[in-house]
Structure 1
């Protein structure tokens, strides 16, 4: 009986994952395929703003691409390491945020903001995100 409970839970989880994928509108799926030809099997989620998030790997790197319900590309981001940041950003971080711990760094290509780096600093409560241009300018 105990094993049956776990089997039922697994089936429900698997069914929910397939349902999310099945519910992706054709216009969103087509927009993804046009933006990322050859990427045929992303994992889809719907975010808090009802946008569709495609999670996929490209050359072993993890990516997340966001699309609006009408298929408009919003942004694509991928995680990077600190040593991959441009030198100008590293300098600004040392000067302005030197003692703060970095929890995550993402390279972002955005339809509205262009290309930037999103650096997340650890803080009590909610972490602080700071967005940088390649030259070190802070944009948020």
Structure 2
């Protein structure tokens, strides 16, 4: 992967703890599941995140993605950062009506093994951060 410094800097910026993992230290089941889920991707960067998941960083059609797998090879979730303009209108409307005083810090589109697709929006007001998960219809999940 051509952008390991980018992901490292992002991890420092967002305060996330990562441990780089060499390709040959990734469990075979994790690599197999990754190849089945993302057959066109051959060069992910691997890290172990703060939850103990193996996290792959890769690109699809120029978009950066992160996918997590547990030690047994089970896929956990895939995320990608998006811009506010890419949020569904119902979520933008909900943020405007309920969180208009907040500043949007980060938005992730998430596909989760149990929750399905949702949007994780990190908001900030007066130095306090708040993560809110929305479904596509603007309903708050957490």
TM-score relative to the length of structure 2: 0.82
CA RMSD of aligned residues (A): 1.4
Superposed structure 1 runs of 4+ greater than 4 Å apart: none
Count of matched residue positions in the alignment of Structure 1 and Structure 2: 123
Find the residue that maps to 2:22 and give its secondary structure.
Answer: helix
Higher-helix-fraction structure: 1
Distance 1:24 1:109 in 2: 22
Distance 1:39 1:129 in 2: 30
Distance 2:22 2:103 in 1: 35
Per-residue Cα deviation, 1:14-39 (whole angstroms, up to 9, x for no partner):
xx95x532211010001000000010
Give the corresponding residue for 2:33.
31
Gaps of 5+ in 1: 1-15
Gaps of 5+ in 2: 1-18
Find the residue that maps to 2:136 and give its secondary structure.
Answer: coil
Per-residue Cα deviation, 1:90-130 (whole angstroms, up to 9, x for no partner):
110001100100011111000011100110112425x2110
Distance 1:41 1:122 in 2: 35
Aligned match of 1:63 in 51, 65, 87?
A: 65
Distance 2:124 2:22 in 1: 32
Task: Report how far residue 132 of structure 1 moved.
Answer: 0.2
Higher-strand-fraction structure: 2
Mapping 1:34-45, distance limit 5 Å: 34-45=36-47
Per-residue Cα deviation, 1:54-111 (whole angstroms, up to 9, x for no partner):
0001111000000000000000011111011111001100011001000111110000
Distance 2:44 2:60 in 1: 11
TM-score relative to the length of structure 1: 0.83
